[in-house]
Structure 1
Amino acid sequence: VECVLFNEEYMNCTWGSREMPTVNYSLFYCPGNPLWHRNEKTSNKEVECKHYLQDQGVRVGCHFKQNELIQFQPFHVLINASVGGKTLEIARKRMFLQDLVKPEAPVNLTIHNTSNNQLQLTWASPYPTNSCLEHAVKYKSNKDTRWTELLVNRNVFSLPSVDYEKSYTFYVRSKINKFCGNTQFWSEWSVPVTWGSNSTSKGTEEEWLHWFGIRTVLVPIASCLLLLMLVILLVRMERVWVILMPRIPNPSKNFDELFITHNGNFQEWAGVPKDVVESFKPNYSENICYVTELPPKDSHEPL
């Protein structure tokens, strides 16, 4: 049976394959020192697995939640197999959980240019106790054929004497150090980070996919939309020209009815009532008064 404690969050114990599908396996576990005797199949403290891992209906492992695990105490497991109504002991193992921890891969890799020729790589770890970790950093330039791998005890790695004509790619992984356990389980390698002259064009896989999507999808769509807008603008150019340069109105058409239909009669064209028109006509007459101018008295001319 092999057990791995993943990031101190859960543990999986597996015990083989499906070579005997008719066999029903059972796992019992007990933290501390169980009272197992030589002729007994189980102890008085054992607990059967609550969450079996199955492969096509056959039990192949057991899943342990975090509240079922106690570190720095012996952890005993016993596997039985039921065949033909008989119970057989398959394996019995004593282990320490701190020796079974496999941390998660480091995250948030960041490169800082601390001087003209030196790089500083930093990262974070999802593991809850960072002081219990040691790390491995591997890197190479775009002109190297082999990776260089170094061990570090902190979340910092410095690379002196970099060449600005090269690009550098870095990976990081972690495992429990000798002060907190005796494990050989390394985490998975982190997502790579790239720095250098070609990092902008090459970059990481995520950045490349991002720019590839922009060039192959967004650029053609934007071009089609711009072409469509130009066509619509050309179709409606006359309307736009009218808005920008409005025509001078011709008022003569508004007076065609005055001169053609009403013969210049403004009152009829304006709709003035007849009684109002009649009110402006004079309704009286004046007598003619003849005036004669008399000559002066000194004049000898006859009247």
Structure 2
Amino acid sequence: MSGTAIENFACIIFNVSFMNCTWHVSWTASGDTQYFLYWKTSKKENFTECQNYIKDNHGRHTGCRFQNVTIENKRASFLVKGHRSGQNIQLYEKTISLYEIEKLTPPLNVTVNCTEASHGCEIRWQPPHTSHVKKHDCFKYQIVIENKADPEKNIKTTSKTERNIIGNSYIFESFSAGKRYSIKIRATDNDCLVSASWGEWSTPVEFGEEELRATSPWILFLIPVLAASLILFLCRVSIYLKKKSATVPQPRDLFHEISPTDFQAEYKNQLTHETEEIIIIEEVA
């Protein structure tokens, strides 16, 4: 039945191994029309049906979600069948190289190291994560560096620097310690089996004057405070230990045996003390 096939079929791979395929229902489709997606990644395989359909408000299938998709050098064949009121509708077929539909993840571990003396910043990053590309030189990158507005300094306009480069580092030579910047990076193909479309932007990384202003005073304040607190703590501990050692009585040697000579001497001492006490009492009386 001509004109009943789906329209605008498209697939995209994202987050390395997830894939979504979507389509539009034919404009001639009635309310009871239903579609079913089948696919395979080699000629030796049999077609398998989608296990997780996307549905519209009428319950009609308008897409499919896939997990654990591997790209490698595979070409996938897609087949969309349909029926309405027991009648088959026009078949839709399409073959796609999977690497062409991948949406690259952002470049990883973006870092910025600036030195005020050289008025430059070294920006470094790692390639986006993929399931099939191992070489770093398979990517080229777009870098966007913006000089952010600063209301406190009455800077209302911003400047932007854009560069397309190959490699995993870049020297930003227009750095000014009195300004605030942000940088974001995205990747695309560099003559490999990689999607020619630009990937996702990395999360913006900010650097410059505001960061230094926010951290330096705290560091300068905390260092002497922590040092003074540590010295005071050590002094109090030392005083406490000295007092404690002075008030603690020496332990008696419980294992020392009293000899007969020691016993007689102790007895004589007691008698002497008793006599002295009696004499003192008589004199007072």
Q: TM-score, normalised by structure 1?
A: 0.55
Contact 1:105 1:190 in 2 (8 A): yes
**Corresponding position: 1:15 with 2:15:** no
Partner of 1:180: 193
Contact 1:118 1:161 in 2 (8 A): yes
Contact 1:53 1:63 in 2 (8 A): yes
Residue 29 (structure 1) aligned to one of 39, 45, 49: 39
Partner of 2:178: 165
**Corresponding position: 1:2 with 2:10:** yes
Cα distance in 2, alignment partners of residues 77 and 135 from structure 1 = 32
Partner of 2:266: none
Task: Point out where structure 2 has 5 or more consecutive residues left out of the alignment.
Answer: 1-8, 149-154, 216-285
Deviation for aligned residue 1:70: 4.8
Among the aligned pairs, what percent are the same residue? Answer: 24
**Corresponding position: 1:150 with 2:156:** no
**Corresponding position: 1:63 with 2:73:** no
Cα distance in 1, alignment partners of residues 108 and 89 from structure 2 = 45
Cα distance change, pair 95–175 in 1 and its aligned pair in 2 (3 A):
same
Partner of 1:141: 147
SS at match of 1:198: helix
- Higher relative contact order structure (alpha carbons within 8 Å, sequence separation ≥ 6): 2
Contact 1:98 1:183 in 2 (8 A): no
Cα distance change, pair 108–15 in 1 and its aligned pair in 2 (3 A):
same
Contact 1:78 1:89 in 2 (8 A): no
Cα distance in 2, alignment partners of residues 196 and 70 from structure 1 = 40
Cα distance in 2, alignment partners of residues 141 and 182 from structure 1 = 30
Residue 202 (structure 2) aligned to one of 170, 190, 196: 190
Q: Which has the larger radius of gyration?
A: 1
Contact 2:188 2:195 in 1 (8 A): no
Contact 2:102 2:195 in 1 (8 A): no
Deviation for aligned residue 1:202: 8.4
Stretch moving more, 44-53 or 15-24: 15-24
Cα distance in 2, alignment partners of residues 59 and 84 from structure 1 = 16
Deviation for aligned residue 1:127: 0.5
Show the 5 A alignment for 1:1-303.
1-16=9-24, 21-33=31-43, 45-56=46-57, 57-66=59-68, 69-113=70-114, 116-128=118-130, 129=134, 131=136, 132-142=138-148, 145-184=158-197, 186-200=198-212
SS at match of 1:187: coil
Q: Which amino acid aligns with 2:178?
A: E
Deviation for aligned residue 1:93: 0.9
Contact 1:136 1:150 in 2 (8 A): yes
Deviation for aligned residue 1:187: 2.5
Q: Which amino acid aligns with 1:103?
A: L
Cα distance in 2, alignment partners of residues 155 and 70 from structure 1 = 24
Contact 2:36 2:49 in 1 (8 A): yes
Deviation for aligned residue 1:134: 2.3
Deviation for aligned residue 1:54: 2.6
Deviation for aligned residue 1:160: 0.9
Question: What is the aligned residue count?
Answer: 192
Taking only aligned residues, the RMSD between alpha carbons, in angstroms, comes to 2.9
